[in-house]
Amino acid sequence: MLHLIRTSKVRADFIHRRERKKRMEKERVAMNSEGVRRNILGFMYAERLKSVLIIAGQMLDVLPDLNEGERSGGLKMFGSFVRGVGNEMRLAANVMGGSDWDGLSGQLNLMEGYARLGQLEAARQELSQTLSRVTTMGGRAMATLEKAGFL
């Protein structure tokens, strides 16, 4: 009797593993080449944008340390950098589509406006929210690629 119970358990484990393997293969096939491409691009854009947003935050931190004569030039450089980041965000939104990517450059414009008005805490908050959104999107893309066995 004990032998039959062990045999049944081994067989059930084997069937469970086989079914799990089939399920994982179906998930992998479901991640077609377009889905893979989209998630790779989403992850890539998110990582690039996170890097430049961190640099923007560092630039924002320097602005209060500038003297009156330097502040005007600092704001011009900051504005130019932020507009470049905004262009990159719009490019990502055009390539990726979807509502997740829309509005990111608008948040960046708000941040720049707050910085120009000297409202640095509000600018930091906008930057933080933008960085959080980008990080979330990149995390989702990475999790999808991991689940499909690509990472």
For residues 115 and 60, is the Cβ–Cβ distance under 8 A?
yes
Q: What is the reported pTM?
A: 0.75
10/15 Cα distance (integer angstroms):
9
Q: What are the tens digits of pLDDT across the range 79-99?
A: 999 999 999 999 999 988 877
- Give the pLDDT score at 16: 66
- Give the pLDDT score at 28: 57
pLDDT band at 2 (very low <50, low <70, confident <90, very high): very low
For residues 118 and 63, is the Cβ–Cβ distance under 8 A?
no
For residues 86 and 113, is the Cβ–Cβ distance under 8 A?
no
